[in-house]
Amino acid sequence: MDRRKFLTCAGLMGSVVTIQGAAVYPALYKPSGKRKNTRSHELQADVIIIGGGMGGCAAALACCRNGLSVIMTEETDWIGGQLSQQGVPPDEHQWIETHGAPQSYRDYRNRVRDYYRRNYPLTEAARTRENLNPGDGSVSRLCHEPRVAVSVLVDMLSSYLSNGKLQLLLNYKAKSAYVDGDRVNNIEVGHIHTGDRTVLTGKSFVDATECGDLLPLTGTEYVTGTESRHDTGELHAPEKTDPKNNQAFTVCFAMDYQPGKDNVQDPPKEYNFWKNYVPEMTPPWSGKLLDLSYSDPKTLAPKRLGFDPSGKDLEGVLNLWNYRRIINRNNFTEGTYEGDITIVNWPQNDFFPGNLIDVPEKEFQQTVERAKQLSHSLFYWLQTEAPRPDGRAGWRGLRLRGDIMGTEDGMAKYPYIRESRRIEAEFRVLEEHVGAENRKLVAGEIEGQRSAEFYDSVGIGYYHIDLHPSSRGNNYIDFASLPFQIPLGALLPKRINNLLPANKNIGTTHITNGCYRLHPVEWSIGEAAGQLVAFSQRAKVPFKAVRERHELLSDFQQMLRNQGVETEWK
């Protein structure tokens, strides 16, 4: 009996600028329009990576560094994922400057700082600051522009693009997969704008997409949404399973402020709806969504926020202007910037009433468009109605900075996705492994002061468990976790043998996704996946054999450490 399957799935969204060809750089070619006649051809490499976000870039670097040929696709015209196309400055732990992430991730961070020192007129104080933070945003020690992220990542990949080890296909989305038994043979991708199809054939495949797109295409078993407490035993899990209950996503945007100018235009078409919208949540939200208050993530009690584009500290409340600020004009010589530039990724533009996972293409697009309406409405509200410290309303000089986001409408190229499809893995990370309170319950007071130790650790990370309000009306779930390891078993699908995850699609639960989804952890997952592909192809063994055979696992972990990956906290 022929066990081969051909699995298809519709694509999602594309971007504005398009690139054609194989080894390419961003924004070099823009077509006049969609062609009537599409083309189809085939490309081959040792490794096919679908998705050019942080995990995809890390995986590509690891594979190329170890001598493999790689084809990496990206749905938009910017690589970098969260950092660039989604416009989210890195959320990181407090030890990131010295440890707790692979050397390749710290290299990225150092290159960002060097990029500003080389190319920007910094003040002497900023230039000599060891840990330069261009925006001085309070959310991160390295708040920087999306375009800089793209430039630095392309620089890191440039030698492999030049020597042909890496082929980069921008504006391509996976359309179908050819699967023979438990192995993927090839992936067909389509150009977002021209419709041209390309069949990508390789020995190994990496799903680094934002939503886990390859999992349904390849028939890889996966889960979505919330698991039940009965299933996982997790302290913060709900009573019932709900595959549609995913965290909110956000369409971010950038803005600056021009004092004395009036940049207000017509209100967005859904402004009246969003101005009066009160989220229906359990426990209840603090009031209207477009307000300078929200539900405190830890207590769920109403909590006040502030907003003042002068950047001044506001007594007793967080000034949202400073939260994700990516340019602090005071770090640059006088006259370089009219004012600061900040990114809006706030509670007020988290999109709750819609889900992007396992929905038809049309519904995906419609939901993203509604989220854009929310973000445009928030911007208009800030211009016209937001309460000011001086008692007046609105800041009419606020200006959308689409140039910062690389778009015409001012919004990010792609929504910030917090939760993806997750593989059914050889090992599933549970709250009892990483959650501080749950860990103490299962391990005791002494053992519970550190996360579970995984014999198959392939990296480390840390972030508190941070679940944003969900598409089914759950309010924040936010509580303490412990510095954790990344187990190899969570990267191994139970059945498909030559596919690895490299994003938020590893074997976590809805709960533990809340600490494994942030920037440096995604990079760490991609680094581990890329090195595993290289190790397995060199040793001529399946991925699962590396975990099952002690000598192979020991050699692989030593390879990771030799290439700058920490596998345990010290």
DSSP 300-315: -SEEE-B--TT---BT
Give the DSSP H/E element, type plus range, for residue 372: helix 361-384
Task: List, for residues 218-240, the tens digit of each pLDDT value.
Answer: 999 999 999 999 999 999 999 99
* Alpha-carbon distances of 372 from 269, 356, 545, rounded to whole Å: 11, 14, 46
Predicted TM-score (pTM) of the model is 0.93
10 Å Cβ neighbour count for 162?
10
Which has the closest alpha carbon to 191: 60, 69, 37, 409? 37
CB 100 within 8 A of CB 159: no
Lookup: tokens for 286: 């603090």
Between CA 532 and CA 559 the distance in angstroms is 9
Q: Mean pLDDT over residues 262-275, rounded?
A: 98
Q: Is the pLDDT of residue 517 over 90?
A: yes
Task: List, for residues 153-178, the tens digit of each pLDDT value.
Answer: 999 999 999 999 999 999 999 999 99
Q: Mean pLDDT over residues 300-324, rounded?
A: 95
Q: Mean pLDDT over residues 417-442, rounded?
A: 97
Show Cβ contacts of residue 336 under 8 Å, excluding neighbours closer than 6 positions.
120, 121, 329
pLDDT of residue 2: 36
Res. 39 pLDDT band, cuts 50 70 90 = low
Q: Mean pLDDT over residues 453-472, rounded?
A: 97
pLDDT of residue 275: 97
CB 89 within 8 A of CB 144: yes
pLDDT of residue 19: 29
Q: What mean pLDDT value characterizes the chain?
A: 93
Between CA 465 and CA 247 the distance in angstroms is 13
Q: Is the pLDDT of residue 24 over 80?
A: no
pLDDT of residue 38: 60
Length reported for the chain: 570
CATH number of 4-89+167-218: 3.50.50.60
- Of 16-20, 302-306, 438-442, the range with the lowest mean pLDDT is 16-20
Q: What is the DSSP pairing of strand 166-170 with strand 70-74?
A: parallel
Sign of CA dihedral 93, 96, 98, 99: positive
pLDDT of residue 446: 87
* CB-count burial class (<10 Å; 0-12, 13-18, 19+) for 497: middle
Show Cβ contacts of residue 251 under 8 Å, excluding neighbours closer than 6 positions.
349, 351, 368, 371, 372, 374, 375, 411, 412, 415, 416
All structural domains of the chain with their residue ranges: 4-89+167-218, 249-405, 418-562
Lookup: tokens for 452: 């579970």
Task: List, for residues 40-99, the tens digit of each pLDDT value.
Answer: 799 999 999 999 999 999 999 999 999 999 999 999 999 999 999 999 999 999 999 999
R_g over Cα of the chain: 23
pLDDT of residue 14: 31
